[in-house]
Amino acid sequence: MGKIHCGNTLGRAHGTQLVWFGTVPRMSLSTHLRQTLLDQFQSGHWRAGDRLPTERELSDQHGVSRTTVRKALLELKLQGLIEQTVGSGTYVSERAGDHLGRRVAQDSSRYTSPAELMEARLAMEPAIIDMAIRNANAADLQRMDRCCDEAERATTLEAFEHWDAELHQAIADAAHNSFVANVFELMKTVRAQGDWGQLKKKSVTPERRLAYQAEHREIVEALRDRDAARAREHTLAHLLHVRQNLLGY
Ligand SMILES: [Zn+2]
């Protein structure tokens, strides 16, 4: 603290700070700062309701002019990630969590390989069966039936994959736990990405599709019977079958 950044001095002296940065484009500095702040939001460094440092502090910390800080903050404000109140400063908005959640979802779907997704599904889908059995209501079971019906009726592989994913989501939603629902929503996003779709396209033959449909029905029937052991067994068998067809092991 106490250090006066040159950008400030020039900014005040000339009404613009750009002189100081020479050939570095103005946008890249504010975009870079915005990215740094986003990373800090995402890493949990700041949470909803936290007060951000002042413009001057941010300018000192990041070695950029206050105009650059203002631009970066304006972008974050337009994205709904921060709120600024006259006199009392800048705060991480309550909505930031949702926004960042979506960003995480997008990033994850971009970087998750089908093998990683398969491994995560094998760990998580059998694990939530108890919760689904405890909390599933009639509407949940109807929704699962409908997913099976639609998957069986599907005339394209894309439509089948869609209803397949919807069924697995419906089972997760039957746990009636918002955290579980969010995690599975993310899985569905990953399933919708190119790599998974391509592999699925290559791996699903008409015979395999028929087998998946039968396996789905068995899972739903076991859930309807509130038979946890059987539902877990069928879920695991189905996922191992999908993995074998998709990844060859
Ligand atoms: Zn399935």
**Both structure tokens of 89:** 């400063």
Does residue 149 carry a pLDDT above 80? yes
Q: What percent of the chain has pLDDT over 70?
A: 81
Pairwise CA distance, residues 42 & 116, whole Å? 22
Q: What is the pLDDT of residue 3?
A: 39
The residue type found at 108 is S
Does residue 88 carry a pLDDT above 80? no
State the distance from the centre of ligand 1 to the C-alpha of 162, rounded, in angstroms. 10
**What superfamily in CATH does domain 110-247 come from?**
GntR ligand-binding domain-like (1.20.120.530)
- Is residue 57 within 8 A of residue 66, CB to CB? The reply is no
Backbone angles phi, psi at 248, to 5 degrees: 80, 20
pLDDT tens for each residue of 176-192:
999 999 999 888 888 87
- Is residue 188 within 8 A of residue 169, CB to CB? The reply is yes
51-81 burial, b if ≥16 CB within 10 A, otherwise e?
ebeebeebbbebebbbbbbebbbebbeeeeb
Q: What is the pLDDT of residue 73?
A: 87
Q: What is the pLDDT of residue 132?
A: 97
State the distance from the centre of ligand 1 to the C-alpha of 209, rounded, in angstroms. 9
**2-94 and 110-247 share one fold:** no
Q: What is the pLDDT of residue 152?
A: 97
**Both structure tokens of 142:** 């109807």
Q: For residue 83, what are the β-bridge partners?
A: 91
State the distance from the centre of ligand 1 to the C-alpha of 89, rounded, in angstroms. 50
Burial class from Cβ neighbours inside 10 Å (0-12, 13-18, 19+) for residue 189 reads: middle
The full set of domain ranges for the chain reads 2-94, 110-247
Q: For residue 179, what are the β-bridge partners?
A: none
Going by pLDDT thresholds of 50, 70 and 90, the confidence category of residue 101 is low
Output 65 or 96, whichever has higher pLDDT. 65
Going by pLDDT thresholds of 50, 70 and 90, the confidence category of residue 104 is low
The CATH code that applies to domain 2-94 is 1.10.10.10
Q: What is the pLDDT of residue 219?
A: 98
Does residue 140 carry a pLDDT above 80? yes
Residues 6+ apart with CB under 8 A from 112: 190, 193
State the distance from the centre of ligand 1 to the C-alpha of 189, rounded, in angstroms. 15
Q: For residue 51, what are the β-bridge partners?
A: 91
Q: What is the pLDDT of residue 133?
A: 97
Q: What is the pLDDT of residue 153?
A: 97
State the distance from the centre of ligand 1 to the C-alpha of 143, rounded, in angstroms. 15
Pairwise CA distance, residues 17 & 247, whole Å? 55
Q: What is the pLDDT of residue 12?
A: 36
**Alpha-helix residue ranges (DSSP H) falling in 43-128:** 55-62, 66-78, 96-111, 114-124
Q: What is the pLDDT of residue 217?
A: 98
State the distance from the centre of ligand 1 to the C-alpha of 196, rounded, in angstroms. 13
pLDDT tens for each residue of 217-248:
999 999 999 999 999 999 999 999 999 999 99
Query: What number is the average pLDDT over the span 202-209?
Result: 90
- Residue identified by tokens 């700041």 is 46
- Is residue 94 within 8 A of residue 100, CB to CB? The reply is no
Report how far Cα 249 is from the mean position of its chain's Cα atoms: 27
pLDDT tens for each residue of 26-45:
456 877 788 788 777 776 67
Does residue 63 carry a pLDDT above 50? yes
Q: What is the pLDDT of residue 154?
A: 96
**Alpha-helix residue ranges (DSSP H) falling in 24-95:** 26-42, 55-62, 66-78
Q: What is the pLDDT of residue 7?
A: 38
